[in-house]
Amino acid sequence: MDIILGYFLYGMSLLTVGGIYALLALGLNVQWGFAGLFNAGIAGFAAIGAYTYAILTTAESKFHYGGLELPLLVGDVMAMVLAGFIAGVIGLICIRLRADYLAIATIGIAEIIKLVLKNESDITNGPRGINKIPRTWEHFSEERFYSSFPLNVINSSDSWQIFFESIARWWWQPFFAGTIILIVLLTYFLLEKLRTSPWGRMMTAIRENEMAAAAAGKDVTRRRIEAFILGALIMGLAGAFLGQHLRLIEPTQTFDPSKMTFLVWVMLIAGGSGNNKGAILGAFLIWFVWSSSELVTNGMIEILASIFDSVDISILKNRAGFIRMLFIGLLLQIILQRYPKGILPEKRPAVSGKI
């Protein structure tokens, strides 16, 4: 029973992280898949979202600025707003750049964001990061939440305490994973609506031939800024959820562009850029394989050890992490060789079913 519960909870965690990456990939899909904007600063927008959420919602701490203790929803919304706002400012300045130049500019911007977060240590606690970030659902079992609105209306804090001690410690996990999946689905439906709307077709036109679209009287720059902001909004929300999931964010490792930005790009390309389903599929697939491959490599080493009992497996165990990276790299090569346009290629033309 314990084992089944264990696998269930691990599955919840896979869905949680997979969902967060799916949001990031959907955000990138708006920018790259719809509008052809090469954004290499995903980690930067996610970081803005995560830090905004963390600073607005955490309790007072001597390590960083805070103690605002705003409701979590306000944190989520502000994470989106701020990420979108910064994307807007950036968009006004550099959206006119052609693809590769925009890529360079966004790399630089992500790096600037990271360095600001790292050095404004009075606000962000610098490289040590912010911890004790409240997680949606789980936060209800913390005293400062069950003793305040809305829970204190329903019951007294003493009886809430007794209630939360009486239920299983993992009660919030399915709810948290479910919330994220729900948001992914909602984002997906909204983006699908957008893709098949006139706006979506216009974006395709701009992406494919900017000059023709401009000649047809479309405001290319404005549309591109819109797509850039929309993508960043989604990334900011994903960042807020990443902060909740990890409960600690710090600029160096969590928002390392070479890890996060690169990984999301891989997810989108493998899944199929331009296709919202593909973005979601790619995110879940890559994350599932990445996470579960550790169990597989460990199991393989055990099997090897039981076959050849003269082999010293401690060396292999220390190297398992690298073997795993090799496997993932190999798998990506196969996917990209087999499906050069992603597993679910873009369907065109992007016309609504209802005519």
Partner 1 sequence: MIKKLIISVMILFGFSTVTIADVKIGNPMARTGPIPELVKPMSAAVDLAVEHVNDQGGLFSDGQKYIAVKVDSACDPVAAVDAVTKLVNVEVVTGIVGPVCSGATIAQAESVSIPAGVVTLSVSASSPAISEMESNTDLVFRTAASDAYQGIALAELAMSKGLKEIAVSYANDDYNAAIAGVFTKAFTSMGGKITGNEAHEPNKASYRSEVNTLGAGSNNLALFAYYGSSGITIMRNAMETGAFENFIGADGMLAQEVIDQLGAENLGNVTFTTSASDSSTDAFKSWKKHADAANVPASDPFVPNSYDAAFLMALAIEKAGSADRSKIAAALREVANGPGEKIYPGEWKKAKGIIASGGSIDYVGAAGPQDFDKNGDVAGLFSKNTVVDGKWKSVVIK
Q: Which residues contact partner 1 (rule: CB under 8 A)?
A: 2-3, 5-7, 9-10, 13, 17, 63, 115, 118-119, 121, 126-129, 131-132, 135, 138, 169-170, 242, 245-250, 252-254, 256, 259, 291-292, 294-296, 298-300, 302-303, 314, 317-322, 324-325
Q: What's the rounded Cα separation, in Å, for the pair 238 and 21? A: 7
Of 74 and 115, the one with the shorter C-beta distance to partner 1 is: 115
CB of 46 to partner 1, least distance (A): 11
Burial, 279: exposed, middle or buried (Cβ in 10 Å; 0-12, 13-18, 19+)?
buried
Which of 46/227 has CB closer to partner 1? 46
Give CA–CA dist 64/319, Å, rounded: 37
Task: Give the C-alpha separation, 231 to 227, whole Å.
Answer: 6
Q: How far is the CB of 193 from partner 1 (least distance, A)?
A: 32
To partner 1, the closest distance from the beta carbon of 86 in angstroms equals 22
Rounded Cα gap, residues 178 and 181, in angstroms? 5
Which of these, 209, 175, 200, lies nearest to 276 by C-alpha position?
200
Q: Tell me whether residue 34 or residue 172 sits nearer to partner 1 (CB atom).
A: 172
Q: Which is nearer to partner 1, 34 or 51 (CB)?
A: 51
If the CB atoms of residues 299 and 329 are measured against partner 1, the closer one turns out to be 299
* Nearest CB to partner 1, comparing residues 123 and 220: 123
Helices 198-208 and 220-246, interaxial angle, to 10°? Answer: 100
- Contact criterion met (CB below 8 Å) for 234 and 23: yes
Q: How many angstroms separate the Cα of 287 from the Cα of each of 155, 202, 225, 239, 280?
A: 40, 32, 30, 16, 11
Report yes or no: 124 and 130 within 8 Å, Cβ to Cβ.
Answer: yes
Shortest distance, position 84 Cβ to partner 1, whole Å: 24
> C-beta of 127: minimal distance to partner 1 in Å?
4
Partnered with residue 15 across adjacent β-strands are: none
Closest distance between partner 1 and the C-beta of residue 51, in Å? 14
Q: Mention every residue, 6+ apart, whose C-beta is less than 8 A from residue 263.
A: 21, 286
Residue with smaller CB distance to partner 1, 317 or 347 = 317
Pairing mode of beta strands 130-131, 248-249: antiparallel
Q: How far is the CB of 17 from partner 1 (least distance, A)?
A: 7
* Comparison of 185 and 248: residue with beta carbon closer to partner 1: 248
Given the complex with partner 1, which of 67 and 99 has the nearer CB atom? 67
**Residue 223 amino acid letter:** R
Residue 16 CB, nearest distance to partner 1 (Å)?
Answer: 9
Q: Min. distance of Cβ 115 from partner 1 in angstroms?
A: 8
Q: Are 276 and 192 in contact (CB under 8 A)?
A: yes
Task: Show the CA angle centred on residue 36, arms to residues 257 and 104, nearest 5°.
Answer: 40
- The rounded distance, in Å, linking the Cα atoms of 135 and 335 is 35
Q: Which two tokens stand for residue 21?
A: 């990456």
